Structure 1
């Protein structure tokens, strides 16, 4: 069976590259490179994946993103069996697969973003410093620490994601998901920015940041449902 047949055997939509595995892989690589360019990861830390049908295309373990090319396409099924490529998938594969099996995610971005990782060591939930928390489903939770690549960490992440599209991982980093890689990456950037704002405001001597109330966040969530351009 060809890579294309293996990936496109399901009708599940994974964005604009849903029926084109090579294009989907190119988007995975481009997104991974963006995480490095935007300072969200260092070296080969973090990982990116996209679901196409019942196959997950995922960045391989220990390979710098700028060295990945079309022939490095790496894919597994939802049970974790490698069905495309020869490179070993990311060590965080259990976390990615758990999210795909439990949610409607079509793309996942995991990073070791500096400010978000710092905040993960301080709180159990990101303080409501900005209304864009509504874009992630509400107050962002921090998943308890567990060793990377473990089923325990995957379970903690799923619990933290309940009703959310992003979370922090204690002493580790971030995970966000979306309907497209662009959306998942944007959510990662928003989460890192919110953490940076809270850390900056918290450093002012003698002052504590003003935080939003749950009701104010709910009001924003209602507005966001109608945000953006609408079809004719």
Structure 2
């Protein structure tokens, strides 16, 4: 069941180590109304494809030997509301810094267009709860964003597939870092909504055709 998606989770989970400490991150890949997600509390390099849990949109594990991520309620809510192909959640340091400040990431660099014009902050709730899931959905919906900061917690990023979700997470973290650095020196200058929209259109045709 979801063999390709479970393999993708097991292979790509190690990339979370570059974005988040310990075993605090998680990712998932969707096919139709179910998704493969990282198991809870397992070192990234010890995740075997056959053990990767498969979860339905009710949040029930329907395959895999291990319990799914503690943040499965948030993954489930995001899939049900927005229907992305993949989700990445990290505690990356610069995004988490702004999350602790409850400060959104404004459009100070064009690469943020991968996530939207602004990356909002979802209100705080205890990790792994339906309340946190609802707050993330509300924040992303209000900002029309593909990512959000989770107050006093970390970062949530989505994408059409796992490559896109990971790329969005990386670029949001990069923008968070340079935004914090710029604020330490002076007053960051934001790009206009029109410019961010133009960049988003250019991104749609970016790259080499396969």
Per the normalisation by structure 1, the TM-score is: 0.84
> 1:135 Cα shift?
1.8
Q: How many residues align?
A: 208
CA distance in structure 2 between the aligned counterparts of 1:23 and 1:69, rounded to whole angstroms:
13
Question: Secondary structure, in 3 states, of the residue corresponding to 1:29?
Answer: helix
Q: Secondary structure at the match of 1:121?
A: helix
In the alignment, what sits opposite 2:9? 28
Give deviations 1:132-174, integer Å, cap 9, x for gaps: 2222122110111110011111011001212211111111111
Q: Is the 8 A contact 2:101 2:152 kept in 1?
A: no
Whole-Å Cα distance in 1 between the matches of residues 60 and 209 of structure 2? 41
Contact kept in structure 2, 1:107 and 1:181, CA below 8 Å: yes
TM-score, normalising length: structure 2: 0.92
Per the alignment, residue 184 of structure 1 pairs with 165
- Give the structure 2 partner of residue 72 of structure 1: 51
Runs of 4+ that moved beyond 6 A? none
RMSD: 1.6
Displacement, 1:230? 5.0
Mapped contact 1:61–1:91 kept (Cα < 8 A):
yes
**CA-CA distance at 1:185 after TM superposition:** 0.3
- Rg (Cα) greater in structure: 1
Name the CA distance, whole Å, in 2 between partners of 1:203 and 1:84: 48
Show structure 1 runs of 5+ residues with no match.
Answer: 5-20
Structure 2 residue 122 is the aligned partner of structure 1 residue 143: yes
SS at match of 2:101: coil
Rate the CA distance shift 1:223–1:79 in 2: closer, same or farther, 3 A.
Answer: same
* Higher helix content, 1 or 2: 2
Q: 1:224 to 1:85 in 2, by over 3 A?
A: closer
Match of 2:151 in 1: 170
Deviations 1:172-226 (A, max 9, x none): 111111111111000000000000010111112xx22222222332332333334
Among candidates 72, 83, 87, match of residue 108 of structure 1: 87
Once the two structures are overlaid, the 10-residue window that deviates more, 113-122 or 184-193, is 113-122
Q: Please tell me whether the aligned partners of residues 78 and 137 of structure 2 are also in contact (alpha carbons under 8 angstroms).
A: yes
1:209 match: 188
The 3 A distance-change label for structure 1 pair 24 and 225 is closer
Q: Are the structure 2 counterparts of residues 227 and 67 from structure 1 closer, same or farther at C-alpha, using a change threshold of 3 Å? A: closer
State whether structure 2 residue 192 is matched by structure 1 residue 228.
no
